Homo-oligomer: A and B are copies of this chain.
């Protein structure tokens, strides 16, 4: 297989992944349900919109988390030059989990204030934990012995991505654990994690 074909193949994989990320992130808004005419007549629209805050919180947290994941994906693929069969399906596992996000997001929006809110938070943080796990798997497969990396990829940069993955996973595990104690705390950790990854920037490139 020539170098040109390889480039083309990775390009289509990135484009397909981008499509899935972009659609999943845009579908999130469908989980914010407009109040009914009856309830608006009773309580007023302003009041009901304010009461939808768990929906906004879930929407924002999921949006920023998916965005951070996309930026990571984007960053990782600047170092990846080749694709193989296993890599396609490890990427598929990641995309599977990303497309699932709107479901726990809608559960969290709906049931955060419910006595059963912890169950919604379990699934929500558990989904992010699984995504973090899939990301580690994907990166380790690609990076092991520079299997799929560009020849010129710097060891320092590769190591820092690996380290980022090793840091992220236990933090999401902590969020998952916290969801059994306090749903608010667990969502707070997810939100802080996403903001932290968004704001700190990548170690080398900044």
Contact = CB atoms under 8 A, between A and B. Distances in A.
A193 to B, nearest CB: 15
A3 interface: no
Interface in A79-106: 84-86, 88-89, 92, 95-96, 99-100, 102-103, 106
Q: What is the total number of copies of this protein in its complex?
A: 4
A155 interface: no
Nearest to A16: B18
A186 to B, nearest CB: 15
* Interface of chain A: mostly helix, strand, loop or mixed: helix
A146 to B, nearest CB: 17
A189 interface: no
A195 to B, nearest CB: 10
Contacts of A123: 49
6 contacts: A20-B25, A23-B23, A23-B26, A25-B99, A27-B27, A40-B114
Interface of A: 1, 5, 8-9, 12-16, 18-30, 32, 34, 37, 40, 44-46, 49, 59-60, 63-64, 67, 70-71, 74, 77-78, 84-86, 88-89, 92, 95-96, 99-100, 102-103, 106-107, 110-111, 114, 116, 119-120, 123, 198-199, 201-202, 205-206
